[in-house]
């Protein structure tokens, strides 16, 4: 192992590895392990280590369920509450510094996933773009995205927005240490997909994160999945009931704040994440259109709804790429059905608006509530329309580039998914050479899909370098220029304008 892979960071010396033209450092702690009395507490600075730390392998992944709505971790991966680590990749043989930095936040409904879920993520960006790539773990499920502050007492405090605070702590670590890896701490682009996209837009509205990154990319973000305390406190009560019944059916009293706090403190992490599955199964029908594991508007760390911050220019005024895939909702069927896809859920959402607006929106989804139009309605409600609102509001204060990802391999189209939620990750991260990518391309369309990924990746790299993208006009409320990623990329002004206008009347509060 080459000595030049020893890098000194604030906590000590880390020894990386060289592989496939990439130099990698993995499992670097950016915060103290949130275990014991630090469970449900805001992250603290990492503890220094003695000697040289082996940074060649990924660390444990955050605790998550292996049988819930989503399945992220492999049974072979070690799960631990001691998971607040990140990974750094750079081009092999890098000399000097000043490289642009791209920090990726993984998705997974804030319930599953990790920085090791796809171990080779980022390598194509590093090789093609000469950038420094950072990927992070953060607390998930009940350990990171349920609000237990109502159970706080003078003796035991529960902090809010733990996963969001973890992401800020990771960005702070990058600001302090990334120059040691050749990265420019003043040129950090944060990007993420799905829940990771929600994290990006939420970080832009989080005062503690301002100044820690210079540009942002939000892919398929459910940007409005942020809830007030009156909602999150009710979910906390329901969660504790599920947890109590799981630990000792019929035998655990949780009627007081102290009882609930004791239960949360002593519960096994596995019981916490499995109880969260019960809650997330309940939420789509109890509260249609919501996702139970999400940030909370706590009035402090996250002072307001991000959409409100974007409206009034209080979000970080930095360049933004934002967009969605053509048919986001088609993925959410069967075990993954957490969106407003069923007739009762759709009726509940329709009850919140006026009859004229309901009629206009139904005209945009002929056949509703049949399966295909229901999936498109639900996907647009959760992902596309809130994304439009972020783009138009942020464009008043900073440059915005808006996109829609339309291409899909032939087999994916024949199965009825089309360009569904998460598909662009296979293009962007050059995943089509893996077994799943090759299976998707078995009936054709693989090469065209990969070429689109090459072009998309080049745009992301150019944006990370300079904040600009060639041939892609900025978005504004007059022209609404949108890059359509397809076999042949094109720019369209205000695609699906009639649908956008119908949504404006349907959910004017967004």
Cα separation, 259 vs 327, in Å, equals: 45
Triad 151, 197, 433: Cα angle to 5°: 125
Token match 């986001």: residue?
328
What positions carry a catalytic annotation?
A: 194, 328, 421
> Peptide bond before 375: cis, by omega within 30 degrees of 0?
no
**Which residues does 177 contact at the CB level (< 8 Å), separation at least 6?**
9, 10
Which CA distances in Å does 30 have to 160, 206, 509?
Answer: 19, 19, 38
Neighbours of 491 (CB within 10 A): 15
384: three-class secondary structure by DSSP: helix
User: By three-state DSSP, how is residue 493 classified?
Assistant: strand
Strands 400-405 and 481-485, sheet pairing: parallel
> Across-strand partners of 104?
135, 191
Check if the beta carbon of residue 132 is closer than 8 Å to that of residue 183.
Answer: yes
Closest CA to 455 of 395, 387, 407: 407
Contact 156, 265 (CB under 8 A): yes
CA gap 253, 250 in Å, rounded: 8
CA dihedral 163, 165, 171, 172 (to 10 degrees): -150
Please report the DSSP string for 152-192 in residue order. --SSS---S-HHHHHHHHHHHHHHHHGGGGTEEEEEEEEEE
Residues 80 and 12: beta-carbon distance below 8 Å? no
Buried b (16+ CB within 10 A) or exposed e, 345-359: bbebbbeebeeebbe
Report the relative pairing of strands 85-91 and 22-29 from DSSP bridges.
Answer: antiparallel
Euclidean distance between the first and the last CA atom of the chain, given in angstroms as a whole number:
54
Question: Phi and psi of 448, rounded to 5°?
Answer: -60, -40
Query: Cα–Cα distance between 105 and 368 in angstroms, integer?
Result: 34
3-state secondary structure of 140: coil
130 φψ region: left (φ > 0), alpha (ψ -120 to 50), beta (else):
left
């Amino acid at each position: 192992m080459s000595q030049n892979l020893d890098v000194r960071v604030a906590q000590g010396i880390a020894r990386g590895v060289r592989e496939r033209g990439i130099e990698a450092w993995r499992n670097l702690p950016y915060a103290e392990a949130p275990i014991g009395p630090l469970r449900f507490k805001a992250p603290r600075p990492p503890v220094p280590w003695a000697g040289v730390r082996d940074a060649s392998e990924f660390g444990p992944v955050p605790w998550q369920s292996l049988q819930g709505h989503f399945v992220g971790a492999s049974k072979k991966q070690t799960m631990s509450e001691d998971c607040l680590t990140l990974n750094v990749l750079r081009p092999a043989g890098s000399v000097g510094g000043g490289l642009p930095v791209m920090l990726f936040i993984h998705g997974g409904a804030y319930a599953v996933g990790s920085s090791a879920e796809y171990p080779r993520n980022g390598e194509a960006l590093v090789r093609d773009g000469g950038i420094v790539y950072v990927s992070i773990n953060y607390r998930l499920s009940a350990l990171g995205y349920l609000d237990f502050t109502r159970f706080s007492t003078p003796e035991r405090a529960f902090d809010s927005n733990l996963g969001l605070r973890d992401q800020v702590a990771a960005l702070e670590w990058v600001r302090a240490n990334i120059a040691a890896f050749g990265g420019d701490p003043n040129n950090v682009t944060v990007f993420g997909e799905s829940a990771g996209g929600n994290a990006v837009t939420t970080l832009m509205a989080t005062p503690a994160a301002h100044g820690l990154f210079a540009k942002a990319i939000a892919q398929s973000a459910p940007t409005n999945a942020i809830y007030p305390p009156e909602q999150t406190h009710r979910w906390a009560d329901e969660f504790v009931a599920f947890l109590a019944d799981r630990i000792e059916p019929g035998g655990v009293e949780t009627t007081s704040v102290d009882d609930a706090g004791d239960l949360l403190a002593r519960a096994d992490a596995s019981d916490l994440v499995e109880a969260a599955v019960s809650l997330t199964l309940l939420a789509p029908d109890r509260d249609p259109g919501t996702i139970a594991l999400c940030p909370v508007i706590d009035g402090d760390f996250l002072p307001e709804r991000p959409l409100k911050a974007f409206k009034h220019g209080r979000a970080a005024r930095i360049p933004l790429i934002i967009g969605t895939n053509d048919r986001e909702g088609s993925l959410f069927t069967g075990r993954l059905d957490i969106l407003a896809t069923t007739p009762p859920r759709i009726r509940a959402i329709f009850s919140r608006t006026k009859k004229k607006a309901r009629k206009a929106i139904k005209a945009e989804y002929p056949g509703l509530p049949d399966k295909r139009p229901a999936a498109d309605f639900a996907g647009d409600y959760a992902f596309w329309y809130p994304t439009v609102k972020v783009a138009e509001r942020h464009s008043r204060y900073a440059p915005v580039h808006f996109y829609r990802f339309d291409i899909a391999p032939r087999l994916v189209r024949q199965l009825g998914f089309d360009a569904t939620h998460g598909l662009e990750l296979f293009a962007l991260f050059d995943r089509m050479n893996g077994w799943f990518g090759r299976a998707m391309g078995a009936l054709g369309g693989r090469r065209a899909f990969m070429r689109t990924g090459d072009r998309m990746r080049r745009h992301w790299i150019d944006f990370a370098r300079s904040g600009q993208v060639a041939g892609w006009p900025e978005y504004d409320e007059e022209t609404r220029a949108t890059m359509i990623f397809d076999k042949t990329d094109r720019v369209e002004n205000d695609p699906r304008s009639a649908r956008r206008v119908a949504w404006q009347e349907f959910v004017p509060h967004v």
